[in-house]
Amino acid sequence: MDGPTQAHEADRARLGAPRERSRASSLVRASRQAALGETKVSAPYPKPPWRTYGNGLAIPCIVPTHDVRVPDEFSVVSSMRRTLGMLVYLEYVEPSPVVHRQLLWLSAVVRCTDPSYRVPEGIGPKYYVARMYSDSERSLEAARSEWALPNGLARFHRLGNRIEVNAEDGTHLAFSWKPWGFRFHAPTQLATLQKGLGRIVCFSAEGRAEVQLATYRLEAFES
């Protein structure tokens, strides 16, 4: 699995304020902060878009809408009071900007309903990330600053096709999977929509992957 990733800060058209162009680089935001007398912090990642490489497991889930909590600026895209969620485990390898492991809970497909923000069109379904865990501080810092993701540090232990995750907030998760069928190549695309620090960020990733179906077993979960 490889491909470029990009983060877009949604244009804001607040009353009495000029519309700003979408911008993805934390370097741009940091330089603007410096102009206001704040400390300039160097970005932990190179300037986006990033080209990443790795492998992972994506488990789609049907989620009742009454179990989903999203920011007031968003609404859940649903059918028959159900929405699509996804549990995603990723391993990033060289030559990705940072080699690390990551677990994400995408709780729902959402849309931005606040007319004060202009979200990029044509990216496809946009998921809301309720939680992200990583074993890299650099990855967590980039996720907070670039994508406004709620996240935490975790330890990952992999033995074959079994993953165990222990996070600092007490979350414990263990699951395994068994691949089956033939492998095929397919394009990949993922987009998320987040709210944080007075801004809305749309993150998108696209690439190509070698895909194989699998069955999975959730062995333990507590949080």
Q: Which pLDDT does position 133 carry in this prediction?
A: 97
Contact 117, 19 (CB under 8 A): no
Q: Which pLDDT does position 26 carry in this prediction?
A: 30
User: Which band of pLDDT confidence, cut at 50, 70 and 90, is reported for residue 51?
Assistant: confident
Please, what is the Cα angle at 124 between 122 and 129, to 5 degrees?
130
pLDDT in tens, 153-164: 999 999 999 999
Output the furthest CA–CA distance in the chain (Å, rounded): 58
Boundaries of domain holding 161: 2-222
Residue 95 to residue 114: CA distance in whole angstroms: 39
Domains contained in the chain, number = 1
Which of 5-9, 53-57, 77-81, 152-156 is predicted with the least confidence, judged by mean pLDDT?
5-9
Instruction: State which amino acid sits at residue 109.
Output: V
Q: Which helix (H) or strand (E) holds 179?
A: strand 172-179
Supply the CATH number for residue 38's domain.
2.40.400
Which of 28-42, 66-80, 183-197 is predicted with the least confidence, judged by mean pLDDT?
28-42
Q: Which pLDDT does position 113 carry in this prediction?
A: 94
Q: Which pLDDT does position 121 carry in this prediction?
A: 80
Q: Is the peptide bond before 150 cis (omega within 30 degrees of 0)?
A: no
The tokens describing 210, both together, are 């070698």
The tokens describing 186, both together, are 């397919």
In this model, does residue 96 exceed pLDDT 80? yes
In this model, does residue 19 exceed pLDDT 60? no
The tokens describing 204, both together, are 């998108």
**Closest to 10 in 3D by CA, of 208, 149, 211, 202:** 202
The secondary structure of 19-64 as a DSSP string is PPPP---HHHHHHHHHHTTPPP---SSPSSSEEEEEEEEEEEEEEE
The tokens describing 110, both together, are 């959402």
User: Which band of pLDDT confidence, cut at 50, 70 and 90, is reported for residue 172?
Assistant: very high
Contact 133, 187 (CB under 8 A): no
User: Which band of pLDDT confidence, cut at 50, 70 and 90, is reported for residue 149?
Assistant: confident
Number of H helices, E strands in the chain: 2, 14
